[in-house]
Amino acid sequence: MTIFYVPTKSHIIPNKKTNHGVTINMLQRTIDKTPHFCGNEESIEAVDLKYYLQDGVTIFSKTNDTINGILNFNVNVHKMMIKGLCVSVRNKRKGSPSDPRIGSSLLREAKRFAKRNNLSEIHLTCYGDVFQFYEKHGFIVQRKSALSVDSDDSFGSPKQSYFMVHQVSQSALSHSFSKKNSAAKRVTKFFKKKLGHNKTSKSSKR
Ligand SMILES: CC(C)(COP(=O)(O)OP(=O)(O)OC[C@H]1O[C@@H](n2cnc3c(N)ncnc32)[C@H](O)[C@@H]1OP(=O)(O)O)[C@@H](O)C(=O)NCCC(=O)NCCS
């Protein structure tokens, strides 16, 4: 599986990740052609994903010649707002060699984009249990609220909506902090070793 961007002029994207052969139109046709591209559509409907693609930045995943995941987001000053994320391949046994984890790969790429473009936060709103997927990727539920059931959906129960946030700069800082920390540890270790070595060489001279 490979992750690509639909070309965009307004942001920093590595050249090798930009796919000039795939257009938004093609992605919209893929959503139409693929049954259940957005699963049971509890959190997002395929028709909405198609609509979101008209705007913002779009990342997609491809295995051989098949497009099997799409993530779309907007950028507003220093914030990324994820509008839609859907994959066409799910329900593989987790941890098996055939487990593609497409959703996670697309989300990780969105995080890399945020760092590269100096964004400080990633926001999103989702519905139902999928909030757990985002929690696994370091998002925190900032607000939740119960949505009323559609009047024509007599079998449904009230859906919970989750407004979630991921702090980009914080994770970048903690990453560099841990790097610094380990560099500091290496320096301390080096001097300790050197001192220890000198002590033993002095004592052996006596
Ligand atoms: C949500 C979605 C994009 C995740 O993609 P995916 O490729 O299936 O997810 P991954 O395989 O990368 O899963 C990573 C982890 O999240 C968990 N996870 C995935 N989807 C989940 C869901 N709907 N609810 C709870 N947990 C979920 C997985 O079980 C896995 O957990 P593990 O690491 O403990 O094994 C995909 O299931 C999907 O398209 N869902 C329908 C559309 C949708 O709800 N989109 C999000 C709202 S915009």
Measured from CB, residues less than 6 Å from any atom of ligand 1 are: 38-39, 43-44, 84-87, 90, 94, 101-104, 126, 129-130, 132-133, 136
What's the CA-to-centroid distance between 70 and ligand 1, angstroms?
A: 13
Residue 19: DSSP 8-state: -
- What is the model's pLDDT at position 100? 80
To test ligand 1's pocket by mutation, which of 48, 81, 133 has the most ligand atoms within 8 angstroms of CB? 133
**Which residue is closest in CA terms to ligand 1's atom 5?**
103
Are the beta carbons of 86 and 39 closer than 8 angstroms? Answer: yes
Between the two ends of the chain, the Cα-to-Cα distance in Å is 65
Atom 46 (ligand 1): residue with closest C-alpha?
85
Q: What is the pTM of this model?
A: 0.81
Q: Which amino acid, residue 25?
A: N
Q: pLDDT tens digits for the chain (206 residues)?
A: 999 999 888 888 888 999 889 999 999 999 999 998 998 888 999 999 999 999 999 999 999 889 999 999 999 999 999 999 999 976 555 556 556 899 999 999 999 999 999 999 999 999 999 999 999 999 999 999 987 555 455 455 667 999 999 999 755 444 433 444 445 555 556 666 666 655 544 444 44
Spatial distance between the Cα atoms of 109 and 96, rounded to a whole number of angstroms? 22
Give residue 99's pLDDT: 66
Give me the residue label for tokens 């307004």. 10
Of the candidates 170, 51, 18, the residue with the CA atom closest to the CA atom of residue 6: 18
Where in the chain are the domains? 2-205
Tokens of 58: 């779009």
- The pLDDT of residue 138 is 96
Residue bearing tokens 């909030």: 131
Q: Tell me the best of 130, 131, 161 to mutate to test the pocket of ligand 1, counting ligand atoms within 8 Å of each CB and taking the most.
A: 130
Superfamily (CATH H level) for 2-205: Gcn5-related N-acetyltransferase (GNAT) (3.40.630.30)
